[in-house]
Amino acid sequence: MPRTALATAIALAFSLAAGSAAAATAYVSNEKDDSISVIDLDKMETVETLQVGMRPRGLTLSHDNKLLYICASDSDTVQVMDLATRQIIKQLPSGADPEQFALHPNNKWLYISNEDDALVTVVDVDKEEVLAQIDVGVEPEGMAVSPDGKWAVNTSETTNMLHWIDTSTNELVDNTLVDQRPRHVEFTKDSKLLWASAEIGGTVSVVDVDKREILKTLTFKIKGVHPDKVQPVGIKLSSDGKYAFVALGPANHIAVIDAKTYEVLDYLLVGRRVWHMAFNPDESLLLTTNGVSGDVSVIDVAKLKVTKSIKVGRYPWGVVVTP
Amino acid sequence: MRHVLRRAGFLVALSCCAPWAIAAPAEELSIRIGYLGYRPDIGPVLSNVIPEPDDAGLRGAELAIADSNSTGRFLKHSYALESVTSETAEDLLEQAAKQYADGLRLFVVNAPTATLRQLSDTMPEALLINAGSADDRLRSQNCLANVLHTLPSRSMLADALGQFLAARRWNRWLLIVGTTADDQAYADALRRAAKRFGHQIVAEKPWSFDNDQRRSAQAEMPLFTQATEYDVVLVADERGDFGEYVPYQTWLPRPVAGTQGLTATGWHKTVETYGAAQLQKRFEAHANRWMNDRDFAAWMAVRSLAAAVTRLRSTDAGAIRQLSLSGELPLDGFKGRKLSYRSWNGQLRQPIPLVHPRALVSNSPQEGFLHPTSELDTLGFDAPESTCRLSEVRP
**C-beta separation of B109 from B95 below 8 A:** no
The strand order across the sheet containing B200-206 reads: B200-206, B172-177, B232-236, B256-258
- pTM, two decimals, is 0.86
Which residues does residue B339 pair with via DSSP β-bridges, in sequence order? Answer: B331
Fold category of B2-152+268-353+382-392 in CATH:
Rossmann fold (3.40.50)
Q: Where are the domains of chain A?
A: 53-210, 220-322
Picking from B63, B284, B337 by the largest number of A CB atoms within 10 A of its own CB, the best residue to mutate is B337
CATH 3.40.50.2300 domain range(s) in chain B: 2-152+268-353+382-392, 155-264
Picking from A179, A204, A213, A228 by the largest number of B CB atoms within 10 A of its own CB, the best residue to mutate is A228
Place A8 in a pLDDT band, splitting at 50, 70 and 90: low
The SS3 call for residue A234 is coil
* B148-183 pLDDT, tens digit each: 999 999 999 999 999 999 999 999 999 999 999 999
Q: Mark B174-199 as b/e (b = at least 16 C-beta within 10 Å).
A: bbbbbebebbebbbbbbbbbbebbeb
**C-beta separation of B79 from B69 below 8 A:** yes
Q: For position B3, what pLDDT does the model report?
A: 40
Amino acid at B155: S
Tell me which CATH code domain B155-264 carries: 3.40.50.2300
Amino acid at B91: D
Q: What is the mean pLDDT of residues B242-260?
A: 95
Q: What is the mean pLDDT of residues B72-92?
A: 95
Residues of B in Cβ contact (< 8 Å) with A180: 307, 330-332, 338
> CB burial class (10 A; 0-12, 13-18, 19+) of residue B361?
middle
A113 inside 8 A of chain B by CB? no
**C-beta separation of A139 from A132 below 8 A:** no
> CB burial class (10 A; 0-12, 13-18, 19+) of residue A16?
exposed
Tell me which CATH code domain A53-210 carries: 2.130.10.10
For A137, which of B71, B310, B338 is closest by C-beta distance? Answer: B71
As a whole number of angstroms, the distance between CA B391 and CA B89 comes to 29
Q: For position A172, what pLDDT does the model report?
A: 94
Q: What is the mean pLDDT of residues A84-90?
A: 95
Q: For position B145, what pLDDT does the model report?
A: 96
Q: Do B71 and A178 touch (CB under 8 A)?
A: no
**Please, what is the average pLDDT of chain A?**
92
For A180, which of B21, B336, B338 is closest by C-beta distance? Answer: B338
Place B25 in a pLDDT band, splitting at 50, 70 and 90: low
Residues of A in Cβ contact (< 8 Å) with B71: 137, 158-161, 177
For B278, which of A115, A202, A217 is closest by C-beta distance? Answer: A115
**C-beta separation of A155 from A133 below 8 A:** no
Q: Would you give the distance in Å from CA A1 to the centre of its chain?
A: 31
Residues of A in Cβ contact (< 8 Å) with B21: 176, 213-215
Fold category of A220-322 in CATH:
Methylamine Dehydrogenase; Chain H (2.130.10)
**C-beta separation of B100 from B51 below 8 A:** no
Q: Do A137 and B338 touch (CB under 8 A)?
A: no
Crossing angle (nearest 10°) for helices B154-167 and B181-196 = 40
Kindly report the nearest CA distance between residue A281 and chain B, in angstroms.
32
Residues of B in Cβ contact (< 8 Å) with A252: none
Tell me if A53-210 shares its fold with A220-322.
Answer: yes
Give residue ranges of B with CB < 8 Å to any A CB: 17-18, 20-22, 67, 70-71, 74-75, 275, 278, 281-282, 307, 310, 330-332, 336-338, 374-376
Q: For position B15, what pLDDT does the model report?
A: 36
Contacts of B285 (CB under 8 A, 6+ apart): none
Q: Is residue B27's pLDDT more than 90?
A: no
For A226, which of B330, B332, B375 is closest by C-beta distance? Answer: B375
Residues of A in Cβ contact (< 8 Å) with B307: 180
Q: Is residue A2's pLDDT more than 60?
A: no
The strand order across the sheet containing A316-322 reads: A45-51, A35-40, A25-30, A316-322
Kindly report the nearest CA distance between residue B17 and chain A, in angstroms.
6
How far apart are the two ends of chain B, measured CA to CA in Å?
A: 19
As a whole number of angstroms, the distance between CA A184 and CA A173 comes to 19
- Interface A–B counts its CB contacts (< 8 A) at 76
Picking from B27, B274, B278 by the largest number of A CB atoms within 10 A of its own CB, the best residue to mutate is B278
As a whole number of angstroms, the distance between CA B379 and CA B50 comes to 30
Q: For position B206, what pLDDT does the model report?
A: 94
Q: Do A200 and B330 touch (CB under 8 A)?
A: yes
The ipTM estimated for the assembled molecules is: 0.77
* A145-168 pLDDT, tens digit each: 999 999 999 999 999 999 999 999
Q: Would you give the distance in Å from CA B48 to the centre of its chain?
A: 23
For A116, which of B74, B278, B374 is closest by C-beta distance? Answer: B278
Classify strands B348-349 and B352-356 as parallel, antiparallel or unpaired: unpaired
What is the sign of the dihedral through the CA atoms of B351, B357, B360 and B362?
negative
Kindly report the nearest CA distance between residue A23 and chain B, in angstroms.
36
Q: How far is CA B36 from CA B40, B105, B152, in A?
A: 13, 12, 18
**Please, what is the average pLDDT of chain B?**
91
Q: For position B103, what pLDDT does the model report?
A: 97
Kindly report the nearest CA distance between residue A210 and chain B, in angstroms.
13
> CB burial class (10 A; 0-12, 13-18, 19+) of residue B11?
exposed
> CB burial class (10 A; 0-12, 13-18, 19+) of residue B203?
middle
Q: Do A201 and B75 touch (CB under 8 A)?
A: no
Q: Search chain A and give the residue with CA nearest B376.
A: A228
**Span of A9-13, A168-172, A185-189 with lowest mean pLDDT:** A9-13
The strand order across the sheet containing A305-311 reads: A274-279, A285-290, A295-300, A305-311
Q: Is residue B338's pLDDT more than 50?
A: yes
Q: Is residue A248's pLDDT more than 90?
A: yes
The SS3 call for residue A164 is strand
Place B52 in a pLDDT band, splitting at 50, 70 and 90: confident
> CB burial class (10 A; 0-12, 13-18, 19+) of residue A178?
buried
3-state SS, one letter per residue, for chain B: CHHHHHHHHHHHHHCCCCHHHHCCCCCCEEEEEEEEECCCCCCCCCCCCCCCCCCCCHHHHHHHHHHHHHHHHHHCEEEEEEEEECCCHHHHHHHHHHHHHCCCCEEEEECCHHHHHHHHHHCCCCEEEECCCCCCHHHHCCCCCCEEECCCCHHHHHHHHHHHHHHCCCCEEEEEECCCHHHHHHHHHHHHHHHHCCCEEEEEEECCCCCCHHHHHHHHHHHHCCCCCCCEEEEECCCCCCHHHCCCCCCCCCCEEECCCEEECCCCCCCCCCCHHHHHHHHHHHHCCCCCHHHHHHHHHHHHHHHHHHHHCCCCHHHHHHHHHCCCCCEECCCCCEEEECCCCCEEECCEEEEECCEEEEEECCCCCCCCCCHHHHCCCCHHHCCCCHHHCCC
Cis amide prior to A281 (ω within 30 degrees): no
**Span of B23-32, B80-89, B184-193 with lowest mean pLDDT:** B23-32
As a whole number of angstroms, the distance between CA B297 and CA B149 comes to 8
**C-beta separation of A213 from A222 below 8 A:** no
Q: What is the mean pLDDT of residues A196-217?
A: 96
As a whole number of angstroms, the distance between CA A237 and CA A189 comes to 9
Contacts of B236 (CB under 8 A, 6+ apart): B175, B176, B177, B178, B183, B184, B186, B187, B190, B258, B259
Q: Search chain B and give the residue with CA nearest A155.
A: B71
Q: Do B337 and A231 touch (CB under 8 A)?
A: yes
| Contact map slice: A 211-230 vs B, CB within 8 A | 213-215, 217, 226, 228-229
**C-beta separation of B347 from B153 below 8 A:** yes
Q: Is residue A171's pLDDT more than 90?
A: yes
As a whole number of angstroms, the distance between CA A148 and CA A265 comes to 29
Q: For position A20, what pLDDT does the model report?
A: 42
Q: What is the mean pLDDT of residues B237-262?
A: 95
A89 inside 8 A of chain B by CB? no
Q: For position A270, what pLDDT does the model report?
A: 97
Kindly report the nearest CA distance between residue A168 and chain B, in angstroms.
21
Q: For position B50, what pLDDT does the model report?
A: 79
Which residues does residue B234 pair with via DSSP β-bridges, in sequence order? Answer: B175, B257
Q: State percent of chain B over pLDDT 70.
A: 92
Q: Residue A3 is inside which H or E element, if any?
A: helix A3-18
As a whole number of angstroms, the distance between CA B91 and CA A258 comes to 62
The SS3 call for residue A75 is helix
As a whole number of angstroms, the distance between CA B261 and CA B355 comes to 8
Q: Do A250 and B336 touch (CB under 8 A)?
A: yes
CB-side exposure of B241: number of CA atoms within 13 Å?
Answer: 20
